[in-house]
């Protein structure tokens, strides 16, 4: 059950403008709307950051849920549901007799930069093959399911290849990037289908 937001939401909505860091944002909250945050009728807050703009929404909930629902953070990394991506691809890799992929931080960062560049240019581009990396990308896939459809249909042989043990993935505004790589040493992932980010095996 999702409780409806209270009548005070629109009045308490605060756009906190541009700040250079989270610390500066916190200082602004304390100095500007501290009194709103400590009133006894306040039930929740929402926080958001995008393109340099910080936002906060203090909320008073009119109708409380009849039971407690635990908060489960989304497993979104670089615009994709990372556990779902890994579960789908690693399941196919295990079927093919391959080791499950681990997530490589550097490849993830590179994939993120690639989608940012494509979004800025306004079109998809194909990067050159760099051994031992294999990079595939596309556009028009704004969610994990459509990305997985493309990866499993067009690039099945690549994503299940024994040459690769690590991957990085990102999506932004329909542009996506998936980078595969290999390491000279073996990697043992904790689980083929991670339930959350804590179970994802990262390589740095």
> Has residue 68 been placed in a domain?
no
What is the pLDDT at residue 60?
A: 67
- Mean pLDDT is highest, among 38-47, 52-61, 114-123, for 114-123
Is residue 49 domain-shared with residue 105, that is, in the same domain? no
Helix (H, G, I), strand (E, B) or coil at 197: helix
For residue 90, what are the contacts with CB-CB under 8 A and spacing of at least 6?
100, 101, 189, 192, 193
> Has residue 135 been placed in a domain?
yes
Is residue 36 domain-shared with residue 87, that is, in the same domain? no
* pLDDT > 90 in the chain, percent: 36
Element (H, E) at 115: helix 105-121
Is residue 114 domain-shared with residue 186, that is, in the same domain? yes
**Above 80 in pLDDT, residue 66?**
no
Is residue 53 domain-shared with residue 132, that is, in the same domain? no
The range of the structural domain enclosing residue 40 comes to 9-59
> Has residue 31 been placed in a domain?
yes
> Has residue 51 been placed in a domain?
yes
> Has residue 64 been placed in a domain?
no
Please state the domain count of the chain: 2
> Has residue 29 been placed in a domain?
yes
Is residue 115 domain-shared with residue 53, that is, in the same domain? no
Computed over every residue of the chain, the mean pLDDT equals 80
> Has residue 1 been placed in a domain?
no
Is residue 126 domain-shared with residue 187, that is, in the same domain? yes
Structure tokens at 167: 């991957």
Q: How would DSSP label each residue in 5-71?
A: BPTTHHHH-EEEEE-SSHHHHHHHHHHHSHHHHH-TT--EEEEEEETTEEEEEEE-BSS--SS----
Is residue 80 domain-shared with residue 124, that is, in the same domain? yes
Structure tokens at 191: 């689980």
pLDDT in tens, 19-37: 878 878 887 777 777 776 7
Is residue 84 domain-shared with residue 163, that is, in the same domain? yes
pLDDT in tens, 132-161: 788 888 887 667 778 888 888 888 999 999
> Has residue 70 been placed in a domain?
no
């Amino acid at each position: 059950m999702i409780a409806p937001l209270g009548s005070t939401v629109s009045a308490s909505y605060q756009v906190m403008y541009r700040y250079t860091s989270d610390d500066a944002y916190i200082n602004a909250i304390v100095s500007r709307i501290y009194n709103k945050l400590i009133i006894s009728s306040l039930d929740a807050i929402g926080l958001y950051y995008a393109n340099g703009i910080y936002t906060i929404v203090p909320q008073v909930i009119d109708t409380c849920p009849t039971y407690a629902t635990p908060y489960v953070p989304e497993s979104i990394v670089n615009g994709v549901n990372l556990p779902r991506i890994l579960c789908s691809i690693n399941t196919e890799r295990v079927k093919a007799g391959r080791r499950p992929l681990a997530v490589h931080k550097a490849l993830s960062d590179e994939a993120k930069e690639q989608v940012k560049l494509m979004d800025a240019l306004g079109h998809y581009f194909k990067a050159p093959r760099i051994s031992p990396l294999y990079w595939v990308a596309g556009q028009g896939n704004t969610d994990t399911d459509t990305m997985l459809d493309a990866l499993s249909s067009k690039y099945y042989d690549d994503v299940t290849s024994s040459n690769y043990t690590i991957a990085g993935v990102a999506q932004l505004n329909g542009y996506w990037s998936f980078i595969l790589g290999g390491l000279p040493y073996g990697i043992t992932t904790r689980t083929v289908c991670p339930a959350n980010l804590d179970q994802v095996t990262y390589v740095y």
